[in-house]
Structure 1
């Protein structure tokens, strides 16, 4: 729905139509949500925002959640609904990892629901500079009118883990191994 709204606004701008205050307000909310600092509301800023306001394939979400949460069995998943290993950096913001190294201050973020965890994960992928590659791959696939598939987008998660390429290989192996169970979602 957010993409559709942005495309509607792009059409208005392309036709030299003015935007209502409510349309400007909704756009500013989207710029804030996706952490995109726009100087102006114009075609360039809206096209840049569209790179952030996009889907993440379900199979990629499921595989990454399985990987990060030990198939939902981790302490962080069970106690804090954190299925994606997201960290926070304020004392008391989450669960302190038992294997946290000395001198480290991060905690594993706590969520009140699965929905909150998934929303945070999606916002993270669609706004954090660490995942610019993911968004570029996705935008390239869109520009070629190709399907957004997990096996291509996973490469954009190289900065999600300190293990980098080994992490990507592990996710791709999990995707291939579990493909038969992901029949109703994109693979």
Structure 2
């Protein structure tokens, strides 16, 4: 190597302010040309010639450096590809949620358009289904409401667009937040019992699961409050509100714990089916009354076949979900279902699942027929495999909307 080349190496050290070279010079230690080159390369300073002119030792050093660099890039690419493969199920789930949100928005934004489509669907429904027109002396009165009712055909199209299938719900144990506000007016005209039941279950199931989900959220808040030594004013107000909601006058937290709990989905669906005739009764269609609850002072529908001595009415609701909420409040507060709540609490305390078939016999006071009524409910649960819905939960989708349809 020439003196000029060696001087260039020193100049590069000064330009790039390589402290190691500076320290050697201060201590008057001589650096060989090879040492200078190694120090510069180590500090990523380009040498004043190409790799081809490098000495073998330096060329080998740079070659190893390139190999390590390429190896690092290869490993990084492999990790990236592997992470994509592993996260594929999650990505698929997110895409599904986005699709649900998109379809929800589409149905919500086309609200006015759907009103026009409904009239056409009423005609096409007669061709698509074997509808049996039945003459009824007591015509169903359409209640005045801010919501409008989809017909059966439109409802089925909606479920299909949202990929809503009961078999998937049974296997995945998840249900999408699809909330209809009223039953289809022509559901009673569907000739196929299987189709009628399928539509009814699809409508009522998300409403029941959603109310159970709200109760479970309240339970989590409740236990969080109980586990604190001091509660904030907001927590005390929340607790007092729940005492009032569950009709506990003495503010007994142990009683609130017993009452604030879910109703097995299978029981709720079976009772809704029994009390509403699978969504075809006059009370269900006129007043969204899914569970046949009586009232003596509230707004209700007068039964046509009641005795003169009876003064009750069937409680009516603005939307279906309100009926579900009232039903759950009834089972969780009425003194007639105290044994039901006690048994449910025992199951909960023993970390056992809350199943409908384990509790159904304790609802004999819901109807005048008593034990016979619970046997009918048990038969409905078994024949329609409703017990498979007891452990399903709500699919948490972003920007989920309640369909006011």
Instruction: Normalising by structure 2, report the TM-score.
Output: 0.42
1:186 counterpart residue number: 390
1:166 to 352, 372, 380: 372
> What's the CA shift for 1:130?
1.1
Alpha-carbon RMSD: 1.4
Alpha-carbon separation, structure 2, partners of 1:185 and 1:174: 13
1:13-162 correspondence runs (5 A)? 17-39=229-251, 45-90=252-297, 93-162=299-368
Q: What stretches of structure 1 of length at least 5 have no aligned partner?
A: 40-44
1:6 counterpart residue number: 222
Contact persistence 1:31–1:49 (CA under 8 A)? yes
SS at 2:314's partner residue?
Answer: strand
Alpha-carbon separation, structure 2, partners of 1:93 and 1:113: 14
> What's the CA shift for 1:109?
0.6
> What's the CA shift for 1:136?
0.7
- Write out per-residue CA displacement over residues 131-167 of structure 1, whole angstroms, 9 at most, x where no aligned residue: 1111011001111111000001112211100111000
Alpha-carbon separation, structure 2, partners of 1:59 and 1:76: 22
Contact persistence 2:283–2:289 (CA under 8 A)? yes
> What's the CA shift for 1:38?
2.2
Decide which structure has the larger Cα Rg and report it. Answer: 2
> What's the CA shift for 1:20?
1.3
Alpha-carbon separation, structure 1, partners of 2:357 and 2:236: 36
Question: How many residues in Structure 1 have an aligned counterpart in Structure 2?
Answer: 175
Contact persistence 1:69–1:85 (CA under 8 A)? yes
Residues 63 and 101 (structure 1), Cα distance of their counterparts in 2 relative to 1, 3 Å cut: same
SS at 1:158's partner residue?
Answer: helix
Instruction: Normalising by structure 1, report the TM-score.
Output: 0.89
- Write out per-residue CA displacement over residues 46-98 of structure 1, whole angstroms, 9 at most, x where no aligned residue: 221011100111111111100011101000000000010001102x7211001
Alpha-carbon separation, structure 1, partners of 2:312 and 2:387: 37
Alpha-carbon separation, structure 2, partners of 1:73 and 1:143: 39
Contact persistence 1:56–1:122 (CA under 8 A)? yes
SS at 2:284's partner residue?
Answer: helix
Alpha-carbon separation, structure 2, partners of 1:37 and 1:156: 25
Q: What stretches of structure 2 of length at least 5 have no aligned partner?
A: 1-216, 392-405
